[in-house]
Amino acid sequence: MKIVPSLTDISQLTSSWKKQGQTISLVPTMGCLHEGHLSLMRKAKDMGGKVIVSIFVNPLQFGPNEDLASYPRQFVIDCELAENEGVDAVFCPENKYMYGDSFQTAVTVSKLSQGMCGKDRPGHFDGVSTVVAKLFNLTRADSAVFGQKDFQQLAVIRQLVKDLNFPIQIIGSPIVREDDGLAMSSRNKYLHGDSRQQALCLYSSIIAARELVTESRDKILAQTVIEQTKEIIARAGAALEYAVLKDESTLLDDVVVSSDSILVLAAKIDGTVRLIDNGRLFPD
């Protein structure tokens, strides 16, 4: 496995692969890899061709009061995990090369970036869109695999690819959970003791919503699901940032629960650790 910190070197490497007729799959990450990330690598590997994992803690997607400085980092371990999954290259650029002193361009997906995480984290999705566009250009990837836990991010990236005509296939991969249901996240490393137990309220809310709609013989209003979710999060002592019911096909707010309804959540655990989760209310 190659470790590539240079923008020039990753471009030369992918150009050589293309000349050999290879396809390239990209798995963008910010490191601190866990089983969720590894599942993305396996999906990319199953597609054949070369697999690149990017490890870059992107400063553009962090707000002034967020955890950029303390975001968990474990580069040596990450490289070992990626190599064990058969990854061909880890692209690990330094910030000073990704965004030089004269950098002044931003990519904005104006509508889908509003609300949900976009409301609580102004500018976050501009940072995501900008770095993803750079990664697509640098790696010349034919496909990119993203986790479905980041529901809004996946929608934004798909819109970006559509609007800017990137010749790349975007693949969403299912959420990977701990045995107790907690969605895997790099920020789970912040959780200990009571806060780890408190974090289960997100998944508990999704399970309770599924039970509510499957046990009812009548149509359920989205607001009924949201109010129940608020109660569960409050009882656990977490601070709910948002709970919305979205139509998975249109991404519009649901009024009445349907077979395409997905509950999307964000909450702060122990007052500091921000976690997100989502789940379809009628899972397959």
**Residues involved in catalysis:** 37
Give the distance, in angstroms, between the CA of residue 24 and the centroid of all CA atoms in the same chain. Answer: 20
**Token code pair at residue 206:** 């999704």
Tell me the pairing of strands 239-247 and 261-269: antiparallel
Percent of the chain as helix, strand, coil, to the nearest 5: 40, 20, 40
Neighbouring residues of 136: CB distance < 8 A, sequence distance ≥ 6: 26, 144, 161, 166, 168
Question: Cα(23)–Cα(43) distance, rounded to whole angstroms?
Answer: 14
Neighbouring C-beta atoms of residue 113, cutoff 10 Å? 25
Cα(first)–Cα(last) distance of the chain, in Å? 37
**What is the chain's alpha carbon radius of gyration, rounded to the nearest angstrom?**
19
